[in-house]
Amino acid sequence: MTADASHNKPGERVAKVIARAGLASRREAEAWIAAGRVSVNGAVISSPALDVTARDRIAVDGQPLPQRARTRLFRYHKPRGLVTTHADPQGRPTLFARLPKRLPRLISVGRLDLNSEGLLLLTNDGGLARALELPTTGWERRYRVRALGRIRQDALDRLRRGVTVAGIHYGAIAAVLDREQGANIWLTVSLREGKNREVRRVLEHLGLRVNRLIRVAYGPFELGDIKEGEVEEVETDELRRILGPELIAQAGADFDAPVEPQQERSARAGDRTRQETAQRGRRGLPTREAAAHAARARGAGKGRPRRKDRAHGPRPKHPRPR
């Protein structure tokens, strides 16, 4: 950190700054630091317990942090069969590989496991993702659940007092028996903690086997009529209103930055040019550079263009008789 880093303002943890740049979650940024992938002012750091300010130069894998873009949030209808990671060591398909290429680099607010589906919030701001995941935020997650088995409503009501399963304590859960469908039942389950596989484990503890789990709401955001695999952005004004001043401050959200910083816009333009070139090549069409070169070659082969007479017609090969 520079000598000026402690002046004017106290600064922020370096992992938090990396997360806000949209490169990773804060937890992932801390793992990058432990792996020696992050440097500050040219020196590789090994501990996330470092405060930095805007004057410090932070790089990941030798590349400087991108300019910060405006905080954005998206609602995504996750299909079953996709994992909520950017890369999977088992080679399973990831949802981030399926997102439209026009979107910025996004991270998820919490996760849905491989066989779960429904609403997943995505953001380009790691600070916002962390704030919305914290139990202290207290946002309710609501699910539609299909499970094999039978149960009475009074047994479900006891979950409101919390339950301990295999040594793990789960807080209050609201579960409503909606209907029976053959050997299955449909439930609406609401909770605020969102621990790993919480709904499945608690219902299995009650003798039910979950065979479909659909998240329909995360706090004030609902799945609505978004089709499976589609993503919709929450408008900035609506997002600002929903979050409110306290949560915005806690997340450090920035709604005044450009939607797409200049360096990212330039990179996208370069990507589009390369994609167009590749597509023309696949179609058997000449690239722009090849087409221009061919045009110049055709002009050189034919010599100078034919001169025209004053009437703008082609100049005759022999002079006209007078």
In this structure, the chain runs to a length of: 322
User: Would you say 50 and 58 are in contact if contact means Cβ atoms under 8 Å apart?
Assistant: no
Beta bridge partners of 75: 121, 232
Q: Which of 4, 113, 271, 309 is catalytic?
A: 113
- Beta strands, E only, the chain: 12-13, 38-40, 43-44, 51-52, 58-60, 63-64, 73-78, 107-108, 116-123, 141-148, 163-165, 168-170, 173-181, 184-191, 209-218, 221-222, 231-233
Task: Name residue 78's beta-bridge partners.
Answer: 118
Q: Encoding tokens for residue 213?
A: 């789990």
Annotation says 51 is catalytic: no
φ, ψ for residue 104 (rounded to 5)?
-70, 175
Structure-token match 């440097």, residue found: 39
* Residues annotated as catalytic (active site), given as ranges: 113
